[in-house]
Amino acid sequence: MRIAVPGAAREKTLAAAPAGDPRRYYPVGRWLVAPAFIYAIIVTQIPFLVTLYYSTFRWNLMRPDRKAYIGLENYKNLITSLWDASDPYAFRAAIVNSLIFTIGTVLFSLILGLIFAELVNYEFPGRNIVRTMLITPFLVMPVAGALGWKNLMMDPDFGVIDWLLRATGTGLSPVWLAHFPRQSIVIMLVWRWAPFMMLILLAGMQSIDEEVREAARVDGATRFQEFIGITLPHLNRYMQLGALLGSVYIVQETDAIFMTTQGGPGTLTTNLPYHVYEVAVRGSNIGLGAAIGVVTVILTFIAMTVLLRMLNTLLRGQYA
């Protein structure tokens, strides 16, 4: 790719570089990127390599005398435990829960986000206030939001949800976090992530050519028909983007689990990142925890690869 550079500055920079020289790409720029690049390498890439290294050890901080290099045995144990009915490392549970939380949250957040975006895409009295209210959950400190949900909303005795259920005569009063732990986590996560989806889809809706909409209206399309026929097809790419970005963030979720269920009851709400914390930090099992961390990274990486391909397409569209 060649960048057309007008003006005198071009003469100056390119004078030093013969045609075809890679430095035609603005050599000083490398030095401007270098600090950020080096910083990112040191704080993210090197620790990850160390995680890989640790994962090849049997290493429990409580028993440093037993520390030993064991190669891929941690991984072997983890993978064979997937077929063990008793799930001795709670590894299968963590994978299953990660999938449930991520897919469940992304799916419901997308649906809600789509509804929200469609609602506030039109002018009505107080539209800005409604939009502001709808994005607020995303800004709320996750730890504080989770505590609010656990107590004010989901408490079986004093929570608003159970009070509503009793008051409306349904005769239901579940102990949310005990009876529906996974659903409760997904509810909290959807509350947080639906606004995110709304923002992305709203941006998508606002990029729709208004003339197409007008033409549809002239032809007598209802708002619903317009939504199905014009908005939805146009949003396809934005929905993919939201789903992929959302899953990369949501798969890392620990805050709500930390503050409400602590992974329980049993292992019902233990996802992969929370499991790493439990095994390595609370259980002092550095080797096994590192191996679970590596698996988490690999699974995230799979989602990421798809995402990057898509962002690349978006970028290419932008600068074509």
Q: Which of 70, 119, 239, 268 binds another protein (CB under 8 A)?
A: 119
Q: Tell which residue, 36, 257, 228, 235, has the closest CA to residue 145.
A: 257
d(CA 135, CA 120): 11
Q: Is 152 in the site for another protein (CB under 8 A)?
A: yes
Q: Tell which residue, 196, 231, 207, has the closest CA to residue 318.
A: 207
Report, in Å, the least distance between residue 227 CB and another protein: 12
Q: Is 264 in the site for another protein (CB under 8 A)?
A: no
Q: Tell which residue, 242, 248, 249, has the closest CA to residue 203.
A: 242
Cβ atoms of 297 and 59 closer than 8 Å? no
Report, in Å, the least distance between residue 175 CB and another protein: 16
Binding-site size, another protein (CB under 8 A):
119
- Specify the amino acid at residue 257: I
Q: Which of 114, 185, 250, 276 binds another protein (CB under 8 A)?
A: 276
Q: Is 127 in the site for another protein (CB under 8 A)?
A: yes
Q: Is 170 in the site for another protein (CB under 8 A)?
A: no
Window 34 to 93, contacts with another protein (CB under 8 A)? 35-37, 39-40, 43-48, 50-51, 54
Q: Tell which residue, 107, 113, 79, has the closest CA to residue 196.
A: 113
Q: Is 209 in the site for another protein (CB under 8 A)?
A: yes
Stretch that binds another protein, among 77-85, 100-108, 128-136, 172-180 (CB under 8 A): 128-136
Helix or strand (DSSP H, E) at 301:
helix 286-319
Q: Which of 15, 19, 210, 320 binds another protein (CB under 8 A)?
A: 210
Q: What tokens were used for 285? A: 């099992």
Report, in Å, the least distance between residue 141 CB and another protein: 5
Q: Which is nearer to another protein, 1 or 85 (CB)?
A: 1
In DSSP notation, 195-261 reads HHHHHHHHHHHHTS-HHHHHHHHHTT--HHHHIIIIIHHHHHHHHHHHHHHHHHHHTT--HHHHHTT
Q: Which of 67, 70, 100, 137 binds another protein (CB under 8 A)?
A: 137
Q: Tell which residue, 226, 191, 209, 188, has the closest CA to residue 116.
A: 191
Q: Which is nearer to another protein, 80 or 206 (CB)?
A: 206
Window 277 to 306, contacts with another protein (CB under 8 A)? 277, 280-281, 286, 289-290, 292-294, 296-297, 300-301, 304
Q: Is 207 in the site for another protein (CB under 8 A)?
A: yes
